[in-house]
Amino acid sequence: MRYAENLVEGRGLVFNEGEFVEGYTTLSWTLLLALFIRLGVDPVSAAQGLGILFYLGLVGGLLYWAGYRTRTTGPPWLPLAALLVLILDDFHEWATGGLETMMFASLALWGLILTRMPADGCRGPLAAGLCFALLTLTRLDGILIAGIGVLSWWIPWAPANWRKSLNQSILAGLPVAVTVAVWFAFKLAYYGDPFPTAYYSKSAADAYWSQGLTYLGLYVLKNWFIVGGVAAGWMLRKSSTGRGSRGDTAVFLGAGLLYLLYVTHSGGDFMFARRIVVVAPLFFLCFEEVVRRLPRIQYRLIACVLFVVAAACSIPVFSDARPRVRRVSDERRFYPAEFLAIRKTQAEVLASAFRGADVRIGFEGGMLMFAYYSKLPYLAEMTGLTQYSLAKRPIA
């Protein structure tokens, strides 16, 4: 929000005026917030409103795919994946959390869905490519999902018309390639570095499997029904409603697993579920396909009800007394309303005390709310989120 405000007020896409540092990790979200600030909308309200809209877009995509599969393969309409997203509170939390999470999840889903639909012309692949380009601008790690999407026309392998598959892959990959090339050229020219500060300060390239597995394990523990879905899929792995069905499942599963592998490798996140909910709907679509494979409609309905009930009965991993478990925090409990009020008060007091003074103030990551509300001209986050010189120092 500070980057967006500085951009609107003519200081550039910077955190501190005159210092060209890429301290955000989501260009498209920052520019969207800047647009709403320019229109006079409070950025906090804008961020929450946009999150809800993209959440509805995510649910709409799941419903659309359920209806499309019904029309093309016959079994009755079964929107299990959409029901799970509507029920699970992790999605509610990140639909209103103010970050780009639901935008990323929605673009990933719609891009992959577009690759699985018949497309004789250019529109389908180009539309998918546009989704993937925006996905990459939303978070650079979206390029992993985009890569699976570009290969989607070759899955299952040995397509009947390899030339057509090649053309569609090229059409889908072209917007991504052009976008990334232009974006990196801009970053090098404007910031002098192709990567944001978080890449260095969070050591994104270094493996941290133990914490990543903890992050993933906490999510599976809370949403234990996922284990049942995986077990059911394994038991029915040889059953299929056709070649297209196998290909759809392979694409959704492949994209989800590749992204989860990356998340686990990099140590997960401080914020619970945030980096998992973006691909969780892809796995839910696989569960939906498993239920669709059951031989009788009665079995399908029973399985669907069991999934929904199990999802509603999640295990309470966090509590008000314990908002943080093994360095992973539940955002709602970790930052309650009274905490936000304290940060705003601190910001107002310091802004008044230092108004007009030539000061530089250092703060740690949990104080970013103070940094935003204070409007002080020069601020430095101590782990390097706002300065390359700090971000690139060794961890020790």
CA dihedral 322, 50, 61, 177 (to 10 degrees): -100
The pairing of strands 328-329 and 324-325 is: antiparallel
Q: What is the pLDDT of residue 274?
A: 96
Q: What is the pLDDT of residue 193?
A: 94
- CA neighbor of 336 nearest in space, from 315, 352, 320, 358: 320
pTM assigned to the model? 0.93
Q: What is the pLDDT of residue 263?
A: 96
The per-residue pLDDT for 395 is 75
Per-residue model confidence as pLDDT tens digits over 144-173:
999 999 999 888 765 667 788 888 999 999
Distance separating alpha carbons of residues 348 and 214, to the nearest angstrom: 38
CB 116 within 8 A of CB 251: yes
Domain boundaries in the chain? 2-332, 338-391
Residues of the chain with confidence (pLDDT) below 70 = 74-75, 157-160, 236-244
CA distance 12 to 190: 10
Give the pLDDT score at 351.
92
For residue 73, what pLDDT is reported? Answer: 72
What are the b/e assignments for 372-389, b being 16+ CB within 10 Å? Answer: bbbebeebbbebbbbbbe
pLDDT of residue 240: 52
CA distance 294 to 149: 28
Q: What is the pLDDT of residue 224?
A: 92
